Structure 1
């Protein structure tokens, strides 16, 4: 004879959150407060940027929009930095969207990391093109000669691609040969999707290149100063000899 069925006993209740549960659903997680370093104006701007890229109006933006959003805020995020932001602030590697509070913490992290790469490239361009007053424009042929010899030399193929893009985005003026390198760098960094191969590897203008340029410039300045000092001493000696000849001062 089999065991008797229990009488008056109810089946066990499923745990909360499981289909068929009779208890209240678990409360949704409350998003953490925004970083304290942001002013109300900052938060308004960051939220506006987020809303503009929330295409489906679901309070989330797609992962691929984050690099463009950061660039629109004036940053120049590198690929490894984007990956680090995703690893640090997203729940797991399978998430394909970013929520507002995650976006705000990504901005804070990027601010703390600093963002001087674009500035370094711009200064390198200014030095290579001998744009001492930093007008943002250069003689393209002069810049080309320097890029073919400084640091890790630019290749002919890279320069041709670079020239094509510079002509297309009107940063190069073939009439006078001028090149707006500041605008060119901005254009390269603001591209959301690059359908063409990047015409120049900006990392060729790395710290070694900048250091080499600084050393060369320091040497040139030293030689120029030595030349001026020698010319000054020669003028003083010529003046002294004339005064001796005129009897104004005794000879040695």
Structure 2
């Protein structure tokens, strides 16, 4: 009978390899800025980024991006913003944007195209029948047009619009006229004072509105030219008849 006692090594874990501490992983190096930007562009974009980096962490909050793009003259729509986030952010859970991501968002928006304020202003001129482009239009006329063309405004939305136009002093209640270039400028550049996405909120899809307004203006121009041509034809027929009747001398 074998002697009782502990078996050597029984119940013990095998020795584990010694973990040698190594250097921490190197941080990812940000990619270079898009080649299409000049040094002057990069300075402007960096200043914009820093102005919204309130915590000084080299990151800006997600909800600042639409405003930052508008301050550069763009008019990003909600779906475009969502697409930018999906393209350039690491995942759907981050709530900030880094500088290099911001640059790539600007590049993408430039490649997608945008109408800037000029197209909207021209659309307002056409819809408001401001043929001489004085910058002023009848507010009631604009209301009628914007509740008909494109994705129509509702009465409630237009009531809110009137409040904003009065607040930023672009609408004169006494004569019923609106200074539409200043109104568009205020809505784009100072939107935090009025609404988060004012242009989108009022359904002013710039490309659609501008295209429809230009089409309407062209149709009205063609109709006017047609009326002038018909009038001249009538006058010429009358002149020829009077010549035939001996009431007018031959030329």
What TM-score comes out, normalization by structure 1 length? 0.79
CA distance in 2 between partners of 1:140 and 1:78 (Å): 25
| Equivalent residue in structure 1 for 2:17, among 12, 31, 51 | 12
Deviation string, structure 1 residues 148-196 (Cα, Å, up to 9, x no partner): 4445543333322221111111110123221022222333334237669
* Structure 1: tracts of 5 or more residues without a match: 15-20
Query: Cα RMSD (Å) of the superposition?
Result: 3.4
Moved more, 235-244 or 84-93: 235-244
Equivalent position of 1:225 in the other structure:
225
Deviation string, structure 1 residues 106-165 (Cα, Å, up to 9, x no partner): 111111111127555433322221012333320112223333444554333332222111
Change (3 A) 1:195 1:241: closer
CA distance in 1 between partners of 2:38 and 2:103 (Å): 12
Equivalent position of 2:27 in the other structure:
28
Equivalent position of 1:187 in the other structure:
186
Please show how residues 45-64 of structure 1 align to structure 2 within 5 Å: 45-64=44-63
Equivalent position of 2:79 in the other structure:
80
Q: Give the superposition deviation at 1:24.
A: 1.5
**Equivalent residues of 1:162, 1:200 under 8 A apart:** no
What TM-score comes out, normalization by structure 2 length? 0.79
Q: Give the superposition deviation at 1:103.
A: 0.9
Equivalent position of 1:18 in the other structure:
none
**Equivalent residues of 1:137, 1:178 under 8 A apart:** yes
Number of positions where the alignment pairs a residue of Structure 1 with one of Structure 2: 242
CA distance in 1 between partners of 2:202 and 2:136 (Å): 17
CA distance in 2 between partners of 1:91 and 1:196 (Å): 25
CA distance in 2 between partners of 1:226 and 1:201 (Å): 38
Does the residue aligned with 1:107 lie in a helix, a strand or coil? Answer: helix
**Equivalent residues of 1:70, 1:76 under 8 A apart:** yes
**Equivalent residues of 2:188, 2:198 under 8 A apart:** no
Moved more, 44-53 or 154-163: 154-163
* Structure 2: tracts of 5 or more residues without a match: 1-6
Query: Is 2:98 the partner of 1:93?
Result: no
CA distance in 2 between partners of 1:208 and 1:74 (Å): 18
**Equivalent residues of 1:172, 1:178 under 8 A apart:** yes
Does the residue aligned with 1:61 lie in a helix, a strand or coil? Answer: strand
